[in-house]
Amino acid sequence: MFKKSVIGTAVTLGLAIAASPVLANKTLESVKSKGTLSCGIHTGLGGFGIADSAGKWTGFDVDFCRAVAAAALSDNTKVRYVPLNAAQRFAALQSGEIDVLSRNTTWTMSRDTQLGLTFGATTYYDGQGFLVNKSLKVKSVKGLKGATVCVQSGTTTEKNMADYFRANKITYKPVVIEDFKASVAAYVEGRCQAYTTDASGLAAIRANDVKNPNDHIILPEIISKEPLGPVVRRGDEDWAKLVSWVHFAMLTAEELGITSANVDEKRSDTNPEVQRLLGQGNNDFGKSMGLDPAWAYRVIKQVGNYGEVFERNVGRNTPLKLDRGPNALWTNGGLQYAPPIR
| Contact by Cβ (8 Å): 106, 226 | yes
- The answer to whether residue 211 scores a pLDDT higher than 90 is yes
3-class SS letters over 45-95: ECCCEEECCCCCEECHHHHHHHHHHHHHHCCCCCEEEEECCCCCHHHHHHC
Half-sphere exposure of 141 (CA within 13 A, CB side): 21
Within 8 A by CB and 6+ apart from 49, the residues are 41, 42, 43, 57, 58, 59, 60, 61, 62, 81, 83, 102, 103, 104
What residues does each domain of the chain span?
A: 12-125+228-332, 128-224
What is the structure's pLDDT at 4?
44
Amino acid identity, position 336:
Q
Whether 128-224 and 12-125+228-332 are alike in CATH topology: the answer is yes
* CATH level 2 (architecture), domain 12-125+228-332: 3-Layer(aba) Sandwich (3.40)
Domain 128-224 falls under CATH 2.30.110.10: no
What is the structure's pLDDT at 154?
86
Per residue in 47-98, pLDDT tens? Answer: 999 999 999 999 999 999 999 999 999 999 999 999 999 999 999 999 999 9
- The answer to whether residue 12 scores a pLDDT higher than 60 is no
Question: Considering the entire predicted model, what is its pTM?
Answer: 0.90
Kindly report the number of other CB atoms within 10 A of residue 9's CB atom.
10
| pLDDT band with cut points at 50, 70 and 90 for residue 290 | very high
What is the structure's pLDDT at 23?
43
Mean pLDDT to the nearest integer, 100-129 = 97
